[in-house]
Amino acid sequence: MTNRSLTSAQSSVSSYMWQFIKQKPSIQARVHSIFSNGFNLKVQDRLWFVGKGEENLSAIGLALGAADFERIAAGLFVGAQVKMVPLFSRSDEQLDLTFTCYIRPMPITLTVLSIRIVDLSIPQIRLDKLNRSTLLHQLEKAEIQKKSGFASAALEQAYIRFVDGSDSFSAASLQPLIGAGVGLTPSGDDFLQGMILFERITGVKATITDLTRQSLQHRSTTDISLAYYQALFDGYANMQWINLFKAIESEDEQQIAAAIEKNQAYGATSGNDSLMGVLTFLRKAKMEAIMGKRIVVALGGNAILNEDPSTQGQIEALRHTSKQLIELIKQGHQLIISHGNGPQVGNLLLQQSIAQSEKNPALPLDTCVAMTQGSIGYWLQNTMNEAIAEAGLSQQVASIVTQVVVDENDPAFANPTKPIGPFFTQEEAEKLSAETGEIYVEDSGRGYRKVVPSPKPQTIVEYPIIKTLIENGYVTVSAGGGGIPVKKVAHGYEGVEAVIDKDFASANLANLVEADYLFLLTGVDNVYVNYNKPNQEKLENVTIDQLQAWIAEDQFAPGSMLPKVQAAISFAESRPGSKAVITSLENIGAIFNGGSATVVLAGNPVQAV
């Protein structure tokens, strides 16, 4: 008998198999099937896989260093006896094992020391992370179908029926996939396992998992497939999947590409077959909008203030607004709310100046912005909580006092353009201007309003906090009133007197928190060219270039639609795939369901919402 001891850390065992090994003093097995990258052992009613090298560590198995694997594999035959004796000299992270193969020309015993116990339990990956990852795109260009069992006529038909939606997933439609196709792990099973795996990592409703379990009671498949189904149901996957999950988590495109390639190389068609399941899961999830989008929603004036300017009136308006916003949460999206404060901050400033005295000096504009941010955030937090409870949802809402950094040399300080506060007639405005030196301008045909400097936002101080809250499932209210304008000073930040445009601040926020969408909600469903003229034209899917051309023609009113269009452009061009939507509050539930809105994106308008 040949004996060989290994002391290297080249061998590993899955945590799943370890659970079984550690209960047994010795394990008698027979070789069940042999592949180029490993072989299966039958142990009573279970199958265990012995892989070549850690990259072939199976959920149901053990992986030996490549050289030692080759020594055994050379003489291996189906039916050969194998005996494993755990030595238990190590900790819970390591195992020693003697591994005797009764092979030709003579048996071989390996004493495999320091076998690493590798956790192959299926992790959770947040849908938004998966959604942002390039996995779907990469699978689409990897030509996996061509290399899979689904390239064969019979299976291809079954696949197309699912993908074009003519066959929905049901026990009856799914059952024929069990055991379908050639190989020791038939393609149909690999496909279903890819889907089950992704249901598991994303934690979405386990529809395919449940249907597959039911179908397995009526239709059988190979022992090997059954063993992998069992491992999946128990929450374990092969090493190459775990590596793909790590790559998705890293958001590194190249790492994802490398992990896909490793998976594709698995088995004859197995790797590609299960990736077909993943691809189908991702497409289905996208179609059903299971994969939530991260959406910054900027609320325009009429979302907060209608005819009744009292506190109660504004809360009522926000109550209505919150009920509409809930539609996005119901559809599974992450909601990052921002809002304007033009009327409120102007009114507060007016109250400050009227009531000021030596003992009670008027508060500066940045503090007034902070106060309106606080009051509107407080109202919104409560109306959102009410709407969430009413809809039977469980999200929690947090308002964040948000400071937005501006450049103190921004030319906007010398040229006030931001209308705030109440509307006045021309005579009233002229009188006020003469008395106070303040500047009043006509605001989009609605009357005269005081204007204040509105510098461009550079960054948002609290954005990492906002991002953390979103990623942990909270609905946030932030950057209210465009954020509190501050400048960077040696010891931190200091307020500056201005009101930042909330559409620009929201675009900045959307970029910083890596949102998929920026929704600018206002009084119209769409942006128009030739607005309010007999030849007005509704804009639906538009590119940045088209908008730039219309801006040059002065199609959008400064102080109302122009900043929205500019903010939409700045977000759409910030990152590939970012989309900005300008529409009304009433329209938000319909946006992902074929409703009409103005959608701005950097690329081809055909790919809109």
Ligand X SMILES: Nc1ncnc2c1ncn2[C@@H]1O[C@H](COP(=O)(O)OP(=O)(O)O)[C@@H](O)[C@H]1O
Interacting positions 495-514 with ligand CP (CB under 6 A)? 499, 501-502
Residue 464 or residue 523: which is nearer to ligand CP going by CB? Answer: 523
Region 289-328 residues binding ligand X, contact defined as CB under 6 A? 300-302
- Any contact of residue 366 with ligand CP (CB under 6 A)? no
The yes or no reply on residue 481 touching ligand CP (CB under 6 A) is yes
CB of 388 to ligand CP, least distance (A): 24
**Distance (Å, whole) CA 74 – CA 480:** 70
The nearer residue to ligand CP, 176 or 364, going by C-beta atoms, is 364
User: Interface with ligand X includes 527 (CB under 6 A)?
Assistant: yes
Task: Choose the contact partner of 524 out of ligand CP, ligand X, none; CB within 5 to 8 A by kind.
Answer: ligand X
CB 520 within 8 A of CB 503: yes
Q: Which stretch binds ligand CP (CB under 6 A): 87-95, 264-272, 334-342, 580-588?
A: 334-342
Total interface residues for ligand X by CB under 6 A: 16
For residue 561, the partner it binds in ligand CP, ligand X, none, with Cβ less than 5 to 8 A by kind, is ligand X
Residue 523 found at the interface with ligand X (CB under 6 A): yes
Q: What's the CA gap between 419 and 454, in Å, rounded?
A: 9
**Interface with ligand CP, residue 65, by CB under 6 A:** no
Output the DSSP codes for 205-228.
--HHHHHHHHHHTTS---HHHHHH
Specify the length of the chain in residues: 609
Structural tokens at position 295: 């959406």
CB-based contacts of 379-385 (< 8 A; 24+ apart in sequence): 379/311, 379/314, 379/315, 379/318, 380/318, 380/321, 380/322, 380/337, 380/339, 380/477, 381/477, 382/315, 383/315, 383/318, 383/319, 383/321, 383/322, 384/322, 384/325, 384/337, 384/475, 384/477
We find the least distance from the C-beta atom of residue 427 to ligand X, in angstroms, to be 23
Identify the H or E element spanning 196: helix 187-202
Secondary structure string (H, E, C) spanning 389-420: HHCCCCCCEEECCCEEECCCCCHHHHCCCEEE
* Phi (first) and psi of residue 48, to 5 degrees: -125, 145
Find which of ligand CP, ligand X, none residue 523 binds, CB within 5 to 8 Å per kind. Answer: ligand X
**Residue 413 or 550 with smaller CB distance to ligand X:** 550
Is the C-alpha dihedral spanning 272, 278, 283, 284 positive or negative?
positive
Under rule CB under 6 A, which residues in 84-113 are in contact with ligand CP?
Answer: none
- DSSP state at residue 54: G
Residue 590: how many other CB atoms lie within 10 Å: 14
Tokens 């999947």 found at? 241
Q: Is 522 in the site for ligand X (CB under 6 A)?
A: yes
Q: Is 341 in the site for ligand CP (CB under 6 A)?
A: yes
Element (H, E) at 525: none
> Nearest approach, Cβ of 309 to ligand CP (angstroms)?
13
Closer CB to ligand CP, residue 212 or residue 511? 511
Q: 542 by DSSP, 3-state: which?
A: strand
User: Rule CB under 6 A: is residue 587 a binding residue for ligand X?
Assistant: no
Of residues 277 and 343, the one with the C-beta less far from ligand CP: 343
**Bridge pairing between strands 537-538 and 528-529:** antiparallel
User: Using the rule CB under 6 A, is 411 a contact of ligand X?
Assistant: no
* Sole binder of ligand X in the list 560, 566, 570, 574 (CB under 6 A): 560
Residue 170, CA atoms < 13 Å, CB-side half-sphere: 7
Hey, what amino acid is at 293?
A: K
In the complex with ligand CP, the residue whose CB is nearer, 61 or 481, is: 481
Q: Which is nearer to ligand X, 200 or 339 (CB)?
A: 339
Say which entry of ligand CP, ligand X, none residue 341 contacts (CB below 5 to 8 A, set by partner kind). Answer: ligand CP
Q: How far is the CB of 596 from ligand X (least distance, A)?
A: 13
**Phi, then psi, of 220 in degrees rounded to 5:** -105, 165
599 touches 541 (CB < 8 A): yes
Tokens, residue 159: 């696949």
Give yes or no for residue 340 binding ligand X (CB under 6 A): yes
Taking the complex as a whole, the smallest distance from the CB of residue 566 to ligand CP amounts, in Å, to 13
Please list the active-site residues.
Answer: 301-302, 418, 502, 564
482 interacts with, out of ligand X, ligand CP, none, CB within 5 to 8 A per kind: ligand CP
Q: DSSP 3-state assignment of 298?
A: strand
Could you say which of 118, 122, 196, 561 contacts ligand X (CB under 6 A)? 561
Adjacent-strand bridge partners of 439:
451
Interactions with ligand CP, residue window 271-300 (CB under 6 A): 300
Does 603 participate in binding ligand X (rule CB under 6 A)? no
277/481 with CB nearer ligand CP: 481
Contact string (CB under 6 A) for ligand X, positions 459-498, x = contact? ----------------------------------------
Picked from ligand CP, ligand X, none, the partner binding residue 556 (CB below 5 to 8 A depending on kind) is ligand X
Distance linking the first and last C-alpha atoms of the chain: 68
346 lies in the site for ligand X, by CB under 6 A: no
Stretch that binds ligand CP, among 107-115, 339-347, 393-401, 586-594 (CB under 6 A): 339-347
Closest separation between CB of residue 502 and ligand CP, Å?
4
For the bound state, the minimum distance from the C-beta of residue 481 to ligand CP, rounded and expressed in Å, comes to 4
Do residues 349 and 457 lie in contact, with contact meaning Cβ atoms separated by under 8 Å? Answer: no
> Is residue 342 within the footprint of ligand CP (CB under 6 A)?
yes
Q: 297: Cβ–Cβ under 8 A, 6 or more apart, which residues?
A: 325, 328, 335, 336, 337, 338, 519, 521, 588
Place of tokens 């990258």: 37
Nearer to ligand X, 62 or 520 (CB): 520
Between CA 466 and CA 478 the distance in angstroms is 8
Q: Which of 270, 286, 128 is nearest to 194 (CA)?
A: 270
**CA–CA dist 144, 150 (Å, integer):** 9
User: By the criterion CB under 6 A, which residues form the site for ligand X?
Assistant: 300-302, 340, 444, 522-524, 527-528, 531, 555-557, 560-561
User: By the criterion CB under 6 A, which residues form the site for ligand CP?
Assistant: 300-301, 340-342, 481-482, 499, 501-502
